[in-house]
Amino acid sequence: MKLPRTRIPRSRAVRGLLAAFVVLALAVGGIALFRPGSPHIATRSQFVTGTPEGGTPVRLDTTVYLPAKTPAPAILLAHGFGGSKTDLAGEARSLAADGYVVLAYTARGFGRSGGLIHLDAPDYEVADARLLVSYLAAMPQVIKDHPGDPRIGVAGSSYGGGLALLQAGTDRRIDAVGADITWNDLSTALFPNAAQGHAPGVFKKLWAGQLFGAAAGRAPSSNGCGRFAADVCAAYQQAAATGRPDATILSLLQASSPARVLSRITAPTLLSQGQQDSLFDLSQADANARGIAAAGTPTKVIWRSGGHDGGTSTSQLVGFLRSWFDPILKHGRVPDRSFTASLTGAALSSQDGSSIDQTVRIEGGYGANRQVPVALSGASRTIFAPAGGNPAAVTAVPGLGGLLGQAAGLAGVTGATQLASIPGQFASFSSAPLTRAELVAGSSTVQLRITARTTTDATLFASLHDVAPDGSDTLPSGLVAPIRLTGLRPGVPTTVTVRLPGIVQSVPAGHRVVVRVATTDLAYQLPTDARSYDVALASPQLGLSTAVGRAEATGHPWPWLIVGLVAMGLFLLGVAFAAVRRRRRHSFEPALQHVPVSIEHLSKVYSDGYRAVDDVTFSVQQGQVVGLLGPNGAGKTTLLRTLMGLIAPTTGSIRLFGELIGPGAAVLSRTGAFIEGPGLLPHLSGRDNLRLFWAATGRPEEDADFETALEIAGLGPSIERRVKTYSQGMRQRLAIAQAMLGLPEVLILDEPANGLDPPQIIEMREVLRRYAETGRTVVLSSHLLDEVEQTCTHVVVMHNGRLITAGSVEEIVGAVAGPDRLRVADPERAVRVLADAGIEAQQVATRHSLEEVFMQLVGADE
């Protein structure tokens, strides 16, 4: 039954104004406001034979997207590490709508494809790609340049981008390449060393562990390798144990690196690299560009926003590919070598002092960076590295880049300013205030004199900071350059030239640039012993890598265009105003304003067709403790993530207090949750974790009710210890307390009893009950059926994404008969008969356990 919706009458004046905007925009601006719908795209999914694995056949999961008109050029799309072909669906459809036959596929070792993961090895993943090109060559819908030679471009991001370059260097049938945020040399990317002429580098342990764990965890195995090939798994385990690459590891990583085939790439190549990327920084794309262009191949480089640590817009990537592929694959034109820095939102200064916004073209191409000498000052300083690298500076975290340290500093957490710069662990060398603005682009260089006091090796981290007159410190993208020196003599200085991280940063006049050298960084493998170093400038000059840029669009628009754009802006403003009014009209249900959770016909279907939640409807009232039950794969976590606005439903709706839920919905401030892990920061204490979390909400500190949260955590003096020293149970208790900060009206907990011992579970049970007795609401998922029965007032049972039953615990437990209990038609007569036989008996109300009921409900559904 649909609930009545409030309606707001539409003003005639608003309708008339919108109509006027449309007419004005069409007449004066000459701008097309509407486009015909996208042409029909046909898809075909099937398995294609790949390269055998040790004599065992391997099948690759593929989908072909066919445009409305064929034959057409083809594009082979490869996904990122840990992904699958479903990640490419939006990109593939968009390119197919543009007139390409697109083949998206899941790489071996991932998803439904067979085989093992070899890290884009020439004999496996690259050989698979060649087979897929041959598969496309056999399709009548694909244009052929020669028999068996399709007109084809290959593209991908990260793992897929590395594959695109490796394939282009080994398969001459490739006509164009688009490689995004990928590597040049995997050995230097995972073991970087900024000290020129010194090797090997420092192990990038957080990123390596993140990638290995994400892939291995999807297919658990007895040896902990998941679907990794044995040599790749052994290489990772050796590096994780020692922090050093041996010859075997270096050979394996270099074999999977585009650096070895760049001179053989003849297809025009587009390289886009993210500015927010602590995995593969700008220098990796620069090395690829230089290697490809050296062979005379047309090459374009884009330094775009985002990256592995920032957002990646599918429409942006498709736009890059279209502008590069269309002239080559559709019209046979060879593009020019060029360089574009896409600096969205950056305010830059060109050589003539004019303002530059957004897209900037570096004059002279990607090799035109110039080293501007900037004087540095600062005395020699002794810095210390603690044993085991604890505490370690936090500059970049996989997927977050430098946002963590910036957020902590803004939050004012105790010790937060020490996240990226821990006292005693760093030395700084500063310039005077700059007299003119500089566009820092690429890797700057500095000469350092380093003295290890007691060791024959050194591990350090150098970075370039932008410091404003008020002292605010910016570490661009959270990037540092690791330095590893070997063969040192204790007490004897060594001079090294250090390449600082490849960055793009507009440094205004009046700001200072600061070189900082630190002994620790959480993202890298650190020495286990305590040590100290003397660090000084070997040269007082910093070679600041800068570039002269010009805006892509220059000149003054024609007056009629200005009028048209103004009209268009007014029209869009009117449309936005009307859309806001529509959203407000439909986003709130007054009849549900006192209902904490209302879910109606909710379904979630993922892009691969998997239906995680299927037409689920139920509501949760104030004062209830509701247990969400179901076996693995029932859809519980998907439902909770949708409830928190983390993912969007396919159909149906979720409302909190009558407000429709979506990403960033204001009503979510009335909730507290932890889903799929607490996300605690190991470097901080339990107390600082709570304070940082609350500060991130932007609400006043006095509203947090920290003392109540600390009482709930029950950690005593341990609340002052770093979280990395906590047991699993302590982390879980802290996470529950974190979710309860501010005493939210709706508390959502995913498996809250994980890691808790029996006394702690009992204590948590009482906390949740008392919490609900205040009129608040608790929704939790759990596999502990006995605990749910004792804790919850109501339960919702799901299986295979569908709702099986919902109601109070008493109702559900009493509604289902146990299979092994004796039912008596006339209990009173039975008692009398037993009494006559000398057997004392009395009636006892029959009650079944929730576990029995759950098994019957799930079994019946099966």
Q: Using 50, 70 and 90 to split pLDDT, how confident is the model at 442?
A: confident
Q: Do 484 and 385 contact (CB within 8 A), yes or no?
A: no
Q: Is residue 846 part of a domain?
A: no
> Is-cis flag, bond preceding 71, omega within 30?
yes
From 19-28, 212-221, 674-683, 762-771, the region with the lowest mean pLDDT: 19-28
Please compute the mean of the pLDDT values over residues 400-409 and round it to a whole number. 49
From 39-53, 487-501, 693-707, the region with the lowest mean pLDDT: 693-707
297 and 383 share one domain:
no
pTM metric for this prediction: 0.62
**Token representation of residue 806:** 């919902």
Structure-model confidence comparison of residues 343 and 842, the more confident one: 842
pLDDT at residue 78 greater than cutoff 80: yes
pLDDT of residue 597: 93
Q: Where a domain ends, among 292, 311, 336?
A: 336
Q: Using 50, 70 and 90 to split pLDDT, how confident is the model at 446?
A: very high
The CA-CA-CA angle for residues 32, 34, 37, to 5°, reads: 135
Structure-model confidence comparison of residues 429 and 685, the more confident one: 429
From 764-768, 785-789, 854-858, the region with the lowest mean pLDDT: 854-858
pLDDT of residue 35: 36
pLDDT of residue 764: 81
Q: Using 50, 70 and 90 to split pLDDT, how confident is the model at 341?
A: low
Q: Where a domain ends, among 336, 353, 384?
A: 336
Structure-model confidence comparison of residues 641 and 19, the more confident one: 641
Q: Using 50, 70 and 90 to split pLDDT, how confident is the model at 841?
A: low
pLDDT at residue 614 greater than cutoff 80: yes
- Per residue in 194-208, pLDDT (tens digit) is 886 666 789 998 888
Q: Is residue 116 part of a domain?
A: yes
208: amino acid identity, one letter:
A
Q: What CA–CA distance (Å, rounded) separates 362 from 550?
A: 7
From 124-128, 266-270, 429-433, 660-664, the region with the lowest mean pLDDT: 660-664
Please compute the mean of the pLDDT values over residues 635-648 and round it to a whole number. 87
pLDDT of residue 11: 42
**Token representation of residue 847:** 């009650």
pLDDT of residue 836: 76
Q: Do 260 and 121 contact (CB within 8 A), yes or no?
A: no
416 and 563 share one domain:
no
pLDDT of residue 399: 62
Q: What is the CATH number of the domain that holds 788?
A: 3.40.50.300
Structure-model confidence comparison of residues 650 and 844, the more confident one: 650
Q: Dihedral of the CA atoms 376, 377, 378, 383 (nearest 10)?
A: 10
Q: What is the CATH number of the domain that holds 440?
A: 2.60.120.260
617 and 650 share one domain:
yes
Percent of residues, the chain, with pLDDT higher than 90 = 39
Q: Quick count: other Cβ atoms within 10 Å of Cβ 554?
A: 9
Q: Is residue 843 part of a domain?
A: no
pLDDT at residue 387 greater than cutoff 90: no
705 and 797 share one domain:
yes
66 and 29 share one domain:
no
Q: Is residue 169 part of a domain?
A: yes
80 and 172 share one domain:
yes
148 and 233 share one domain:
no
* Helices assigned H by DSSP within 118-158: 125-137
Q: What CA–CA distance (Å, rounded) separates 445 from 14?
A: 59
Q: Is residue 362 part of a domain?
A: no
Q: How many helices (H) and strands (E) does the chain have?
A: 21, 35
**Structural domains of the chain, count:** 5
First to last CA, the chain: 29
Which 3 state secondary structure label does DSSP give 585? helix
152 and 74 share one domain:
yes
pLDDT of residue 191: 92
Please compute the mean of the pLDDT values over residues 710-728 and round it to a whole number. 85
Residues with Cβ within 8 Å of 339's Cβ and at least 6 positions away in sequence, in order, are: 289, 300, 301, 302, 361, 362, 365, 366, 368
Q: Where a domain ends, among 255, 272, 297?
A: 255
Q: What CA–CA distance (Å, rounded) separates 353 from 537?
A: 32
710 and 604 share one domain:
yes
Q: Is residue 194 part of a domain?
A: no
Write out the H or E segment, with its range, that includes residue 207.
Answer: helix 205-216
pLDDT at residue 648 greater than cutoff 60: yes
- Per residue in 9-48, pLDDT (tens digit) is 334 444 444 444 443 443 433 333 333 334 578 999 999 9
Q: Is residue 711 part of a domain?
A: yes
523 and 631 share one domain:
no
Range of the domain at 788: 591-814
Q: What is the CATH number of the domain that holds 95?
A: 3.40.50.1820
pLDDT of residue 811: 83
pLDDT at residue 3 greater than cutoff 50: no
DSSP 3-state percent helix, strand, coil across the chain (nearest 5): 35, 25, 40
Structure-model confidence comparison of residues 125 and 758, the more confident one: 125
629: alpha, beta or left? (left if phi > 0; alpha if psi -120 to 50): beta
Residues with Cβ within 8 Å of 851's Cβ and at least 6 positions away in sequence, in order, are: 785, 786, 789
Please compute the mean of the pLDDT values over residues 388-392 and round it to a whole number. 84
Q: Cβ-count burial of 642 within 10 angstroms (0-12 exposed, 13-18 middle, 19+ buried)?
A: buried
Please compute the mean of the pLDDT values over residues 682-688 and round it to a whole number. 85
Please compute the mean of the pLDDT values over residues 639-644 and round it to a whole number. 88
pLDDT at residue 647 greater than cutoff 70: yes
From 73-82, 269-278, 546-555, 654-663, the region with the lowest mean pLDDT: 546-555
From 510-519, 595-604, 670-679, the region with the lowest mean pLDDT: 670-679
Q: What is the mean pLDDT of the chain?
A: 81
DSSP states along 477-511: GG--EEEEE-S--TT--EEEEEEPP-EEEEE-TT-
325 and 392 share one domain:
no
pLDDT at residue 121 greater than cutoff 90: yes
Structure-model confidence comparison of residues 402 and 507, the more confident one: 507
**Token representation of residue 328:** 């080559």
Q: What is the CA radius of gyration of the chain?
A: 31
Q: Is residue 361 part of a domain?
A: no
603 and 750 share one domain:
yes
Structure-model confidence comparison of residues 50 and 347, the more confident one: 50
